[in-house]
């Protein structure tokens, strides 16, 4: 099964999205989901049976369009075209609705009409003038009629169907009244309904324009990220500088970046040194020093030195493109709470049409007359449009994930954003998560004939080519002390034990107690020092030379500056914290105590981590796992919410639901707080949408008017209220933009 994302065009409400889903999902081997807020279609299908063209035809048969490769720039262009079109059509409607209202209702307010339009003197002119003025307004709102009736014919009525039925009923009754004026009843000018149709269309066009503009603001996070990408780059070609479009760059191209310019794509510096502003990724305000061999990231800004770098990742493979992709996928995904609203919206429109018909018949049979019955019929249709209901959840998800992205928290799905607020227990990996993952040499104790500097020279020389973090700590300390590192002769790594090498004719071993015991090397003289170092959270290792114990070397992984504060924030939120590590118990407990973690599970093998998370879940705990390494990926996948550190491995990031780009553990609490704020916002939106319809429909149906002598809801007021409902839901979602993700 292939999984793709496409853009659907021509949708206006949640019922439209449901119509597309219905058309696709009735086909075998297709599983489709449409997000009305992002206009994204997520579809899984059998590639042997379907391709894009076949899928597009299915969508088109439902009355909508499908675009395969919709860039954000193209989407923005189409959005602007839509806004311009709505604006022009609204202006056209206003130009004609103003005189329409003046002619139809002005005389009731004491306005003077010319004699040839006076309803008492020339009722036919009065009616025909309104009819003529209504026609351009109908043209301005033509999409409501074309889409509405087409979807009604397909048995998938939408919001447009409600508007089309209501406005058409008003116009047809106006034509009927005009015919009565011509034939039998000049007083029928009192029953004209042209102004209701014209005003409804105008008000809904106004609401649509506001909705389109507000919707545009919800996707500002994507726009900001795309804005980080430069359009062009300078490369070296045949020894000369050449400017090319960024999409024409190839892997291996040598790119020139001068001070103040943006770095076009990901790469590795081959010439020069500089400092780079990577705040767009890391959130760190201070520039990062870069030299030959260092990586640079597309979208970051070169500050003060000219550099040349080799392009290593281009197009969709750059870090920035991957981030944009993750945000797009998150904004296009559906949360569980959204699916509930979709189900309601799918049945809502047909139910409303039924209620409107029953309302009209009931009022007609009550003896109130056709005019009154028609008024209530139209009011029910217009006020009950489910736009607010359909927009309630996806707009909040869009803004919430966008807010996270702006603050270095990549939430990969709407479901992750929806569930994160439920977290009661956070499990942390130690190395690289709570700690920096870059150990430093803290102690070197000599016991034999070699002094500390001699031991450091020997240890650094044999560990020089090792990629192990502990080896790196020893080598870095030697370089720091300007101790000469010489080549070794033989080297053997022994996983789980240590290393063995030959240096200057001597056999050197560096490792744990098991390694020493295998060679029957007595290390008891160092036991007291070993225990002290272990209790301080350090990792001691033994050094032997020619099978004689020579010294003890200890390294420690430094705790991140923000780890303690991050744990404190979680505790204030009532969340339990646990450290899950393969390190020894003493070291683990020491680190845990330093940062304030509640519980420790130590000496866990990589393949056991996911099992430990599962055991916590079986105790009815809603668990988040925070990690950075390949060994953490099964646990990240097992957890209710997996949270990966941004500088972690690709596997860990792929397995996680949330990625912390800034490598700041405080963002764990920030992600949970954002989830809570988003869910609260969604509930507010849904409450307003449901409350509005629960109250609005009986009000429009005249129940309060009939039984409580309340006011009668005019269809024009209903149209205004419907538009206001959608805009208010969007406005409430936008409040999330101002949510403060604490530090």
Comparing CA positions, the residue from 441, 715, 672 lying closest to residue 556 is: 441
C-alpha span between 425 and 17 (Å, rounded): 37
Q: Are 298 and 320 in contact (CB under 8 A)?
A: yes
Active-site residues: which are they? 429
Q: How many CA atoms lie within 13 A of 524 on its CB side?
A: 2
Beta bridge partners of 426: 577, 624
C-alpha span between 611 and 667 (Å, rounded): 26
Q: How many CA atoms lie within 13 A of 431 on its CB side?
A: 26
Q: Are 209 and 236 in contact (CB under 8 A)?
A: no
Comparing CA positions, the residue from 481, 451, 453, 477 lying closest to residue 464 is: 477
List Cβ neighbours of 480 (8 Å cut-off, separation of 6 or more).
Answer: none
Beta bridge partners of 301: 262, 277
Q: Are 357 and 384 in contact (CB under 8 A)?
A: no
C-alpha span between 264 and 229 (Å, rounded): 7
Beta bridge partners of 302: 276
Q: For 35, list phi and psi in degrees, rounded to 5.
A: -105, 115
Q: Are 162 and 154 in contact (CB under 8 A)?
A: no
C-alpha span between 618 and 404 (Å, rounded): 30
Comparing CA positions, the residue from 423, 376, 724, 375 lying closest to residue 577 is: 423
Q: How many residues does this entry show for the chain?
A: 743
C-alpha span between 52 and 59 (Å, rounded): 10
């Amino acid at each position: 099964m292939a999984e793709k994302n496409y853009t659907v065009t021509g949708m206006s409400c949640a019922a439209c999205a449901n119509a597309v889903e219905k058309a696709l999902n009735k086909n075998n081997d297709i599983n489709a989901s449409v997000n009305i807020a992002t206009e994204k279609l997520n579809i899984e299908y059998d590639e042997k049976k379907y391709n894009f063209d076949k899928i597009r035809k299915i969508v088109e048969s439902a009355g909508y369009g499908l675009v395969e490769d919709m860039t954000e720039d193209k989407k923005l262009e189409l959005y602007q075209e839509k806004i311009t079109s709505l604006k022009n059509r609204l202006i056209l409607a206003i130009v004609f609705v103003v005189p329409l209202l003046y002619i139809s209702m002005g005389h009731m307010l004491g306005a003077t009409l010319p004699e040839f339009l006076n309803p008492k003197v020339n009722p036919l002119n009065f009616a025909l003038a309104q009819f003529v003025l209504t026609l351009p307004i109908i043209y301005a709102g033509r999409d409501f009629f074309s889409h509405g009736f087409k979807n009604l014919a397909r048995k998938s009525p939408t919001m447009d169907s409600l508007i089309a039925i209501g406005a058409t009923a008003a116009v047809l009754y106006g034509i009927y009244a005009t015919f009565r004026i011509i034939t039998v009843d000049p007083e029928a000018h009192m029953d004209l309904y042209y102004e209701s149709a014209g005003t409804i269309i105008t008000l809904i066009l106004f609401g649509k324009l506001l909705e389109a503009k507000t919707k545009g603001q919800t996707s500002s996070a994507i726009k900001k990220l795309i804005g980080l990408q430069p359009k062009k780059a300078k490369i070296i070609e045949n020894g000369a500088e050449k400017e090319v479009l960024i999409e024409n760059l190839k892997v291996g191209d040598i790119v020139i970046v001068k001070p103040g310019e943006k770095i076009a794509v990901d790469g590795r510096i081959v010439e020069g040194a500089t400092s780079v502003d990577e705040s767009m990724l890391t959130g760190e305000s201070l520039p990062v020093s870069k030299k030959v061999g260092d990586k640079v990231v597309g979208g970051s800004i070169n500050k003060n030195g000219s550099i040349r770098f080799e392009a290593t990742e281009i197009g969709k493979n750059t870090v920035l493109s991957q981030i944009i992709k993750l945000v797009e996928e998150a904004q296009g995904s559906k949360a569980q709470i959204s699916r509930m609203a979709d189900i309601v919206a799918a049945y809502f429109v047909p139910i409303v049409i039924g209620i409107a018909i029953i309302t009209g018949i009931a009022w007609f049979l009550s003896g109130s007359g056709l005019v009154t019955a028609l008024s209530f019929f139209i009011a029910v249709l217009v006020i009950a449009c489910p736009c607010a209901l359909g927009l309630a959840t996806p707009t909040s998800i869009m803004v919430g994930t966008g807010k996270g992205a702006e603050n270095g928290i990549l939430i990969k799905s709407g479901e992750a954003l929806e569930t994160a607020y439920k977290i009661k227990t956070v499990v942390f990996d130690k190395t690289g998560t709570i700690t920096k993952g870059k150990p430093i040499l803290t102690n070197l104790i000599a016991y034999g004939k070699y002094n500390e500097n001699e031991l450091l020279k020997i240890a650094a020389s044999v560990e020089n080519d090792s990629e192990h973090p502990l080896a790196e700590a020893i080598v870095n300390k030697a370089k720091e002390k300007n101790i000469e590192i010489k080549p070794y002769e033989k080297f053997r790594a022994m996983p789980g034990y240590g290393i063995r090498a030959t240096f200057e004719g001597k056999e050197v071993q560096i490792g744990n107690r098991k390694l020493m015991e295998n060679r029957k090397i007595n290390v008891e003289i160092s036991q007291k020092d070993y225990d002290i170092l272990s209790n301080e959270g350090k990792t001691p290792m033994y050094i032997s030379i020619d099978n004689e114990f020579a010294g003890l070397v200890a390294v420690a992984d430094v705790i991140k500056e923000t780890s303690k504060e991050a744990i404190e924030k979680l505790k204030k939120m009532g969340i339990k914290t646990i450290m899950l590590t393969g390190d020894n118990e003493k070291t683990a407990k020491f680190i845990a105590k330093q940062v304030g973690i509640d519980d420790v599970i130590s000496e866990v093998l990589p393949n056991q981590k996911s099992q430990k998370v599962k055991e916590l879940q079986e105790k009815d705990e809603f668990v988040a796992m925070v990690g950075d390494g390949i060994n953490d990926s099964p646990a990240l996948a097992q957890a209710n919410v997996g949270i990966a550190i941004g500088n972690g491995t690709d596997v860990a990031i792929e397995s996680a639901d949330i990625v912390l780009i800034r490598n700041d553990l405080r963002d764990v609490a920030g992600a949970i707080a954002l989830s809570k704020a988003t869910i609260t916002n969604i509930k507010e939106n849904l409450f307003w949408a449901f409350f509005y319809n629960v109250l609005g429909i009986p009000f429009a149906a005249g129940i309060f008017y009939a039984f409580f002598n309340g006011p009668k809801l005019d269809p024009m007021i209903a149209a205004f209220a419907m538009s206001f409902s959608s805009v208010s839901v969007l406005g409430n979602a936008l409040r999330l933009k101002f949510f403060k993700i604490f530090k």
